[in-house]
Amino acid sequence: GGIDMDNFETILRIALEAKVPQVIPHVYSSIIDKETGKTRAQDVRALLAIMKKLVDHHG
Protein backbone atom coordinates (compact mmCIF):
# COMPACT_ATOMS: atom_id res chain seq x y z
CA GLY A 1 0.00 0.00 0.00
CA GLY A 2 0.81 3.64 -0.09
CA ILE A 3 -0.94 6.95 -0.45
CA ASP A 4 -3.51 6.86 -3.20
CA MET A 5 -6.78 8.47 -4.22
CA ASP A 6 -8.70 6.30 -1.75
CA ASN A 7 -6.76 7.21 1.39
CA PHE A 8 -5.24 10.62 0.58
CA GLU A 9 -7.91 12.68 2.35
CA THR A 10 -7.80 10.58 5.51
CA ILE A 11 -4.01 10.68 5.73
CA LEU A 12 -3.86 14.43 5.11
CA ARG A 13 -6.63 15.09 7.65
CA ILE A 14 -4.80 13.06 10.32
CA ALA A 15 -1.58 14.99 9.66
CA LEU A 16 -3.34 18.36 9.84
CA GLU A 17 -5.20 17.42 13.02
CA ALA A 18 -1.85 16.41 14.55
CA LYS A 19 -0.49 19.84 13.54
CA VAL A 20 2.29 18.35 11.45
CA PRO A 21 4.16 21.46 10.21
CA GLN A 22 4.92 20.16 6.72
CA VAL A 23 3.20 17.38 4.82
CA ILE A 24 4.54 16.07 1.52
CA PRO A 25 2.28 13.20 0.44
CA HIS A 26 3.86 11.06 -2.26
CA VAL A 27 1.04 10.04 -4.61
CA TYR A 28 2.96 10.12 -7.88
CA SER A 29 2.75 6.50 -9.00
CA SER A 30 -0.86 6.12 -7.88
CA ILE A 31 -2.06 8.86 -10.26
CA ILE A 32 -0.19 7.66 -13.33
CA ASP A 33 -2.21 6.02 -16.08
CA LYS A 34 -0.63 2.58 -16.45
CA GLU A 35 -1.39 2.41 -20.18
CA THR A 36 -0.12 5.84 -21.24
CA GLY A 37 2.44 6.55 -18.51
CA LYS A 38 0.94 10.02 -18.11
CA THR A 39 -0.33 11.70 -14.98
CA ARG A 40 -4.14 11.69 -14.78
CA ALA A 41 -5.00 15.41 -14.70
CA GLN A 42 -8.43 14.73 -13.18
CA ASP A 43 -6.73 13.06 -10.21
CA VAL A 44 -4.45 16.07 -9.72
CA ARG A 45 -7.49 18.35 -9.74
CA ALA A 46 -9.27 16.11 -7.22
CA LEU A 47 -6.23 16.02 -4.91
CA LEU A 48 -5.89 19.80 -5.09
CA ALA A 49 -9.56 20.23 -4.18
CA ILE A 50 -9.12 17.90 -1.20
CA MET A 51 -6.03 19.81 -0.04
CA LYS A 52 -7.77 23.17 -0.33
CA LYS A 53 -10.82 21.91 1.56
CA LEU A 54 -8.77 20.46 4.41
CA VAL A 55 -6.37 23.39 4.71
CA ASP A 56 -9.30 25.82 4.77
CA HIS A 57 -10.87 23.75 7.54
CA HIS A 58 -7.70 23.17 9.58
CA GLY A 59 -5.64 26.17 8.44
pLDDT of residue 15: 95
16, amino acid identity: L
Indicate whether this model's pTM tops 0.85.
yes
Is pLDDT of 28 > 90? no
pLDDT bracket for residue 59 (50, 70, 90)? confident
